[in-house]
Chain A
């Protein structure tokens, strides 16, 4: 499906927020929070495969989808340099989504690290619309890397950790004081070591914990079997069985 870029907000040297609308005017398909797209990088000389990118936000009213893209190499660099009216081909939507907390009273924390905050914005909206008050814990290297803070603040209470202490509490998200409180549901997206550390904290307090993995993918459709994660059911494709997994499904040493 072709999408036309309607806005490219450069949030930071390394990050762009791309807002896109179906080129042919079709309505966006139903999108679950946590799902992703496979983006074609047409003009890039040295890349070949599509790039899997989390869906950051869906604005059905305006028929616009948001992607938060980090410059992680040549493919994503081309994407963050997109211009208004550029047309980008995407396979949408792919994968599963976050599951809703079991009760409307569940105390819920969404933890994002770096660009891993991306899928939590749309999920936060869905939670809020269901009458659940999500809290957010956003972590990054420094203040400049805390992304979309104003958007998160519209949806719930936001806690911040920065490694250099330039904003919020100093240190990694896993030492943030909010984690001394007991949560019923914890959702996490970020670098693998961070997600493992969060899983380690969530397990003993009995919180239901889901993480969103970003294993290297080729097809995104469950055909190539490249992005597998070892689970209690054996190797499964992150693109079709995930990207969101309950930590109890994974074989992480936690």
Chain B
């Protein structure tokens, strides 16, 4: 067996395979299919200070090699999470990471302060890239100043590992990455969904209630690989890669491009056990390529 351990900030992971926020619920939905303890980590649904109902139905449409979603951060709020969900999911032997979102900087800080004392939450992923909310979300992630402002505030409010999730809907993602690195982020994860739109030509109406949504799935993978490759060269903090990873081969592609870890998102919808197959594949790949430590592969494509 190859050594698959990796480190993000001070946090150790038993392997580089994480689940992407919003595609894995709270993990509990998947326990019939996988052993959560085998994951490197799992990132749970975007959490906000207050309960959010999300956007009206319809929120999803299938598109070529992918899907558009416009869920809009439906969640019951951080207090509900801490009181009702956290006690149920804190026993797993893996890194529990909470994705945090907010409409303004104070909201991000308030959520981080509430999560900070939780022993089993090992890191937060700061969502400055959700394309499906009117306030906050992507607005912070599309300017260096906005991204830096949120990162700085969160860094002060949260003592664990801080990962900032970046939007691909920008001119130069490396500039945003450098801005959050400068404010103390331990890592950046990319890419969140690409903003897209689809129209039902018979009804002459958009499929989504919000008109636009976030595109995910293998359709976005080459864009994500390119952005991970560019960003990994631009920053010194570890990069977490995601975007259309459907299998172990795709995970290796991101690692070669410079990702220290990867997140599996939309693929969980099609094969809820896919993360286990990806972990097995990475190990098998390392053996096949005489790699004794996964670090040899990270960024091997210069």
Contacts and interface: CB of A to CB of B under 8 A. Distances in A.
B6 interface: no
Interface in B240-255: none
Given A218-B269, A223-B268, A228 B62 contact: no
A235 B74 contact: yes
A40 interface: yes
B64 A46 contact: yes
Nearest to A226: B60
Interface in B48-90: 53-54, 56-67, 69, 71, 74
Interface stretch (B23-31, B100-108, B174-182, B226-234): B23-31
Interface in B4-25: 22-25
Nearest to B28: A222
A49 interface: yes
B56 A224 contact: no
Contact of A223 (B25, B54, B56): B25
A46 B63 CA distance: 8
B54 A235 contact: yes
A221 interface: yes
Interface residues of A, number: 26
A206 interface: no
A49 B67 contact: yes
A219 interface: yes
Contacts of B65: 48
Interface in A191-227: 215-227
B50 to A, nearest CB: 13
A46 B269 CA distance: 17
B62 A221 contact: no
A47 B59 contact: no
A222 B29 contact: yes
A47 B65 CA distance: 7
B61 A216 contact: yes
B272 interface: yes
Contacts of A221: 25, 29-30, 269, 272
Most buried by B among A50, A215, A226, A234: A226
A224 B265 CA distance: 10
Contacts of A215: 57-58
A226 B69 contact: yes
A221 B272 CA distance: 9
A11 interface: no
A216 B59 CA distance: 8
Interface string A215-254: 1111111111111111000110000100000000000000
Given A46-B64, A48-B66, A228-B59, A219 B268 contact: yes
B53 A234 contact: yes
B131 interface: no
B1 interface: no
| Interface SS of A by simple majority | loop
Interface in A43-66: 46-50
A224 B270 contact: no
A194 to B, nearest CB: 18
A218 B143 CA distance: 32
Contact of B23 (A49, A216, A224, A228): A224
Contacts of B64: 46, 48
Contact of B69 (A40, A50, A218): A218
B273 to A, nearest CB: 10
A224 B53 contact: no
Given A40-B270, A219-B269, A226 B71 contact: yes
B265 to A, nearest CB: 10
Contact of A224 (B60, B63, B271): B60
A223 B24 contact: yes
A48 B61 CA distance: 11
A229 B59 CA distance: 11
Nearest to A240: B29
Contact of B62 (A49, A222, A225, A227): A49
A224 B272 contact: no
Nearest to B272: A221
Contact of B269 (A50, A229, A235, A240): A50
A31 interface: no
B200 to A, nearest CB: 12
A91 interface: yes
B270 A48 contact: yes
A218 B216 CA distance: 12
23 contacts: A40-B270, A46-B64, A47-B62, A48-B217, A49-B62, A49-B269, A91-B272, A215-B57, A216-B58, A216-B60, A218-B60, A219-B23, A219-B272, A220-B269, A221-B29, A221-B30, A223-B29, A224-B71, A225-B22, A225-B45, A226-B71, A228-B54, A240-B29
Interface of A: 40, 46-50, 91, 215-230, 234-235, 240
Given A47-B62, A218-B269, A223-B25, 9 more contacts: A40-B271, A46-B64, A91-B272, A216-B61, A217-B60, A224-B23, A225-B71, A226-B69, A229-B57
